[in-house]
Amino acid sequence: MPALSRIPLEAVEEAGGGCLRLVCAPASIVAPIPGQFYMVRGPWEADPLLPRPFSIARFRTVKDEQVQLEFLLRIVGRGTRLLGTAHAGIELDVLGPLGNGFEQPPGDSAWMVAGGIGIAPFPALTDAIATSKRTLSLLVGARTEAEIPGFVDFETNLTGGVEIATDDGSAGFAGTVVDLLASRLQRATEARPSQIYVCGPHPMLEAAAAVCAGAGIPCSVSLEAPMGCGMGTCRGCVIQTFQDTNFTVCTEGPVTDANVIWSSKPAP
């Protein structure tokens, strides 16, 4: 049940890789499911106009059943710039939790694949999966080392380890994180995950989905699309699936099985 809440900002912190952590004050709200998102707006006038969608990066329940939300964000435009320069104490309008989140993996191990700020939902997902004692790995890619987002202290739960890919080879694997995914799936030594979770820009999701389909491993993607309402009404986020049907990212997604969107036939 999404709700609209006005929540003070408790802290704004650098989170590495040019990303920021926005920590909200604890509030009497329902806890989200990892992979769900919120529409967030600061106390400014009518420009920028619309709230901006952000995945829940982490949350915790504190005393009196209060829930504390945390977002991880990259400054890319006007709205994120204003949020990034916001200071503790200002109040945010927070609408959510919205959309569908991730499900637990069917088997013992799972991989998370992040393109840049696509890492955002994975701390919360890690928290949720870690409680079930599964092996969890993170593959994270960026253009260059300086742009690798921070890990917000969840490395300890990444029992399967972290691997990094950079387009320019400045750190870790040289290539895209999808190339890294493909190469890791081919390593004989590696146990195959029961589920792959992917979050990042649309073309990266599509490429990752094709790799997973080729390997026959379930792939769950968190989609991005321009959003007006987050509630299914504006129809701004609607994409067309390979079957020429409409898929409403904000309500049917953002998390969905990749083969709902793309044909699961591996690329020829």
Ligand X SMILES: Cc1cc2nc3c(=O)[nH]c(=O)nc-3n(C[C@H](O)[C@H](O)[C@H](O)COP(=O)(O)OP(=O)(O)OC[C@H]3O[C@@H](n4cnc5c(N)ncnc54)[C@H](O)[C@@H]3O)c2cc1C
Ligand Y SMILES: Cc1cc2nc3c(=O)[nH]c(=O)nc-3n(C[C@H](O)[C@H](O)[C@H](O)COP(=O)(O)O)c2cc1C
Which residues form the interface with a second copy (CB under 8 A)?
43-48, 78, 82, 85, 87, 90
Least distance CB 190 / a second copy (angstroms): 48
Closest CA to 256 of 221, 226, 211, 225: 221
Spatial separation of the C-alpha atoms in residues 122 and 174, rounded to whole Å: 22
Tell me the β-bridge partners of 52: 40
Query: Does 127 participate in binding another protein (rule CB under 8 A)?
Result: no
3-state class of 60 per DSSP? Answer: strand
Residue 215 interacts, among ligand FES, ligand Y, a second copy, none and using kind-specific CB cut-offs from 5 to 8 Å, with none
Report the residue from 162, 234, 238, 239 that binds ligand Y according to the rule CB under 6 A: 234
Asked if residue 48 has a cis previous peptide bond (ω within 30° of 0), the answer is yes
Identify whether the C-beta of residue 83 lies closer than 8 Å to the C-beta of residue 40: yes
Q: Using the 8-state DSSP alphabet, how is residue 42 labeled?
A: -
Shortest Cβ 123–ligand X spacing (Å):
10
Residue type, 181: L
Shortest distance, CB of residue 47 to a second copy, whole angstroms? Answer: 4
32 part of the interface to ligand X, by CB under 6 A: no
> From CA 253, how far away is CA 255, in angstroms rounded?
4
Q: Which of 28, 144, 233, 240 binds ligand FES (CB under 6 A)?
A: 233
Using CB under 6 A as the binding rule, whether residue 228 contacts ligand FES is answered as yes
What's the min distance (Å) between Cβ of 225 and ligand FES?
7
In the chain, what is the straight-line distance between the N-terminal and C-terminal CA atoms, in Å? Answer: 42
Report the C-alpha gap between 83 and 77 in whole angstroms: 10
Beta carbon nearer to another protein, 4 or 76:
4
Q: Which residues bind ligand X (CB under 6 A)?
A: 37, 48, 52-55, 57, 71-74, 76-80, 117, 120, 224-225, 227, 254
Q: Which residues bind ligand FES (CB under 6 A)?
A: 227-230, 232-237, 248-250
